[in-house]
Structure 1
Amino acid sequence: MTGTLVLAGTPIGDVADAPPRLARELAEADIVAAEDTRRLGRLTQALGVRPTGKVVSYFEGNEAARTPELADALESGARVLLVTDAGMPSVSDPGYRLVAAAVERGIGVTAVPGPSAVLTALALSGLPVDRFCFEGFLPRKQGERRTRMREAAEERRTLVYFESPRRLAATLEDMAEVFGSGRRGAVCRELTKTYEEVRRGRLDELAEWAAEGVRGEITVVIEGAPEPGGDALGPEELAHRVAVREEAGERRKEAIAAVAQQAGVPKREVFDAVVAAKNAAAPGKP
């Protein structure tokens, strides 16, 4: 008989949030594959449990090489427990390769549900949560980052991103440029930890705040694009949306037509907004 792969959600901050089943699975698994074996040691000590099975590392650097080894163990009947540093394995963490390998071999996969930074941030953001889209980590290079943002600029679902505190200010500046400075967002920092903080506001306000420096693990929540025919967009926002499309390589005429259709306004109104913005930016203008 084949074994079972168990994906275990681990606390994102407060160890008291660990699901009760986690301790039992840690104690009984034949193999515990951990993203960081040292952090695993601290977790098991806090839970008062000692793994009886073999403990191996499973992180980004050895994930590809170790996956076949673990898949073979599963096929031989082992119960393999996969834990990452925080949250659910395979969600912006190691795990996808092993899940795919197990599914391909017809091996059962189950999960120990646990805390999620994505859902926690959504719930605390104060933004619509009925529909959302998780975008994970953005690229480090600004050009690639902005390209990814442009792909989501007209997404109407609430957007969720993970980001490094070192890149947060630059990312928020890019978001204000691509999504529009008036778009609302929330920066959730150190969720469930001692210094938990949720900062809400317009993207330009959040970028200004982050420029002073931010520490900790970050989840960013951004409201989706407005529905066509919803709240009227001002001339500055109309011109901004045309500029974003032009920067992406679209011709101005097509960009104006697309923005007009999405905003539910005449093309002439968008054209006038673009001309006004151009005149305002011209040298010598007040």
Structure 2
Amino acid sequence: MLNNVIQYLEQINPVQAALYATLFTWFVTALGAAFVFLFRGINKHVMDGMLGFTGGVMVAASVWSLLIPAIDMSAGEGFIRVVPSVVGFLTGVAFLFSIDKVLPHLHANFKKVEGLKTPWQKTTLLVLAITLHNIPEGLAVGVLFGGEAAGIPEASIGGAVALALGIGLQNFPEGIAVSMPLRRIGLSTRKSFFYGQLSAIVEPVAGVLGAVAVATFTPMLPYALAFAAGAMIFVVVEEVIPEAQQNKGSDIATLGFILGFIVMMTLDVALG
């Protein structure tokens, strides 16, 4: 079945393919958010394991799907060859760091509002927190499809599909991580689901923009891949891992991280 999907995506416009792939990642987020119709809450240890899995997928995707291809397609030898990846990576980190400090947002524990002071409601702040996670994810998928459009061997449709699958898998717990806390603070199930799926709607937008930008200006591809990697690594270190380690079930979060890394690495090697 996956081979059929890859063959179909190879035959259509890469920007359209990026849109379809990121719509899939949004859809999986919506599936996770839909759990609010079945359950009012979720076991903390299960959530820790899911968040750990999310972190493992994001780290593996950053290395196998983004940084290694970025280095492989860079010109030069030795230190010169790694310069585009270093510049792009640091720029991605700086971009997410700046947004994290400026944009008001709140995490699932409701303990601390980050960013500038604002009168916005907790609902909006929580959705913005998860939306921050999804910007680099959608961008990463779109950039790979754009690179394939430019005819760069390191940016294959198979690799882009593997990345979309991995991100889709880790988007499932992200949907839960938004909808469940909103239900606990008194929102209706419909509103909790709506805001849960809304957090990932930025992924198709970022995916299309990334594909168009790279397909239009091919030399930026190594920088764009490393940019997405830097942004994702920042999210993992700053947000995902600390949230996964809040409770006593840290071993479960660690095992979830390892499993997520293995799954994403396997997908990338098998399909990419």
Range of TM-score over shorter length: under 0.3
More helix by share: 2
More strand by share: 1
When normalised by structure 1's length, the TM-score is 0.21
User: Larger Cα Rg: Structure 1 or Structure 2?
Assistant: 1
**Which structure ranks higher in relative contact order (CA pairs < 8 Å, sequence separation ≥ 6)?**
2
